[in-house]
Amino acid sequence: MPSVAVKLYSVFFKLLLKHRLQNLISISADGLSDSFGVSTRSDESVAAANPSFTDGVATKDIHIDPMTSLTVRIFLPESALSPTNQPRSDRRHSHGPLNQNPAEERNESRRNSYGCNTENLESYGGYAPPPRRNSRKLPVMLQFHGGGWVSGSSDSAANDFFCRRIAKVCDVIVLAVGYRLAPENRYPAAFEDGVKVLNWLGKQANLAECCKSLGNRRVNGVELKKMNVQGQIVDAFGASMVEPWLAAHGDPSRCVLLGVSCGGNIADYVARKAVEAGKLLDPVKVVAQVLMYPFFIGNNPTQSEIKLANSYFYDKPISVLAWKLFLPEKEFDFDHPAANPLAHDRIGPPLKLMPPTLTVVAEHDWMRDRAIAYAEELRKVNVDSPVLEYKDAVHDFATLDMLLKTPQAQACAEDIAIWVKKYISIRGHEFSY
C-alpha cells in the first residue's frame, strides 16, 4: 500500500485540484476562449531555463508559434559534447588549429557550422555548439506533460526535474512541449500543438541540412535566403531560425514520443499522425512511444475503474471534471477518440502500423485496465507493446513533485531507458535485455 505521507498528500492534492477545476468551470461558463492560449498557470512553481550545463543538462525555452502560446523546452545532456571518432582535446570545446590567431578564433566562435550566430548565447554564458566539429548526434524525444488538460507545463519544477532525469538516463535530447491548456483552448488544441512540434522538428532538420549545403537554395520547395542580420538563417517569411542545439546534436531519424498522464493521449495521437504522414515527415521518424499511465477512459467501465474509482490523486470524479473542461460540450463522450483509444470510431491508421509502445501503469490507478487493454490490442497485431506495472504505485508516481525522488520513480526512468534504447541505439551498438 502507498505510505501514510502519500495518502495524506493525496487528500490535500485532490482538494486543491477540485477547487481549481471548479473555478475553471465557472470561468469557462462565461465563454472564455483565447486562440493564443496559455501554456502555464501563474500559481504553479516553475524552473527557470539554464543554457549552461547544470547537473549534466542544459536547457532553453523556445516560443515556436507566434500565433499561439506553444513553446518547447530543450533539454540537452552533456553527453552530447563527447566527440565522435575524435581524440579529446586538452582545451574544452576548442577544435580549431592550435596556431590560429586569437582574434580570428573569437570571430569564428561566434558562428557555428550551421550558419547560426551564437554570440548572443555566449553573452549570457550559455552553451553554443563549437565550429568545425563532428558533433555527437543524439535521438530526440518529444515529451508531453500531464496535468489533466488544465494544468502543468513544460517548465514546471517537477517536469523540469523529470525531463532532466530522462535526458540523462536515456541519453537523448528532450523537447518538453508546452501545449495550450483547457478550458481556454479545448480539444483539439493540445493535440494539434503536439503535431505542430513534430513538424517543427522536421523543418529544423531540413533547414540545418540546407545550411550545410551552400549551393542548395531550396528546402521542400521553399526558397531560403541567408541574412547577415545577427547571422540568422530565415525562410522567405523571415521566420524559423535554425536552432543550433538541434542542428549540431539532434538526430530526428531516431525520434521517441513520451506522454505522461493526459500527455500519453497526446503522444498516441501524434504517433498516429506520424504514421499517416509517412515520408512527408522525413527526416523525422517516430521509432517508439512511451505512455506513462495514460489518461484513458470509456463509456463501459473496466474493473479498475469500478474498484479504484476513488483512488489517489487523480480519482475518477476529478478526472471527469477535467474531461468536461477539455472536450467541447457538443463532443463530450467518454468514447471520444481523444479519450478511448479503442473506441469503435477510432480515427487513424490501423493498429498494426503503430510504433512500438511501452505502457507504464500503477497498481492503485483506476485508469490502469484500459491502458493494459490498449497494449494487449497492439500485441495482437504484432506491435511490440510491453506493460510495466509497478506495485503499490499510484497515478503520477514517477512524475509528481513529492514522488520524483523516490527509488520507484528512479527505477521507472531506468526501466524506460532500457526499453527505449532498443529502438534508438545506432546499429552495432544495440542495447538489449
Q: Which domains does the chain have, with CATH numbers?
A: 4-80+131-215+242-424 (3.40.50.1820)
**Cell numbers that stand for 55 in this block:** 547537473
> How far is the C-alpha of 46 from the C-alpha of 402, rounded, in Å?
15
Residue of 145, 249, 336, 395 with catalytic role = 395
Give the tens place of pLDDT for each residue, 100-139.
444 444 444 444 444 444 434 444 468 888 765 677 899 9
Q: What is the pLDDT of residue 208?
A: 84
Q: Using an 8 Å Cβ cutoff, are 412 and 418 in contact?
A: no
Give residues with Cβ within 8 angstroms of 342, minimum separation 6.
298, 370, 373, 374, 377
In angstroms, the Cα distances linking 26 to 17, 308, 316, 324 are: 14, 28, 20, 12
Q: Within 13 Å, how many C-alpha atoms sit on residue 367's CB side? A: 34
176-199: b (≥16 Cβ within 10 Å) or e: bbbbbbbbbbbbbbbbbbbbbbbb
Which one is predicted more confidently, 418 or 241? 418
Determine whether 395 is an active site residue: yes
Give the tens place of pLDDT for each residue, 372-396.
999 999 999 999 999 999 999 999 9
> How far is the C-alpha of 142 from the C-alpha of 199, rounded, in Å?
12
Give the tens place of pLDDT for each residue, 37-66.
999 888 889 999 999 998 999 999 999 999
Model pTM above 0.75 = yes
Q: Using an 8 Å Cβ cutoff, are 118 and 245 in contact?
A: no
> How far is the C-alpha of 386 from the C-alpha of 294, rounded, in Å?
14
CA-nearest of 287, 284, 289 to 374 is 289
Residue of 160, 268, 365, 396 with catalytic role = 365
Three-class secondary structure of residue 289 per DSSP = strand
Give the tens place of pLDDT for each residue, 272-314.
999 999 999 999 999 999 999 999 999 999 999 999 999 889 9
Determine whether 261 is an active site residue: yes
Does 80 score more than 50 pLDDT? yes
Q: What is the pLDDT of residue 240?
A: 45
Does 93 score more than 60 pLDDT? no
Three-class secondary structure of residue 416 per DSSP = helix
Give the tens place of pLDDT for each residue, 209-228.
887 764 445 445 555 444 43
Q: Using an 8 Å Cβ cutoff, are 284 and 274 in contact?
A: yes
Cell 493525496 sits at which residue? Answer: 10
> How far is the C-alpha of 260 from the C-alpha of 147, rounded, in Å?
9
Q: What is the pLDDT of residue 32?
A: 60
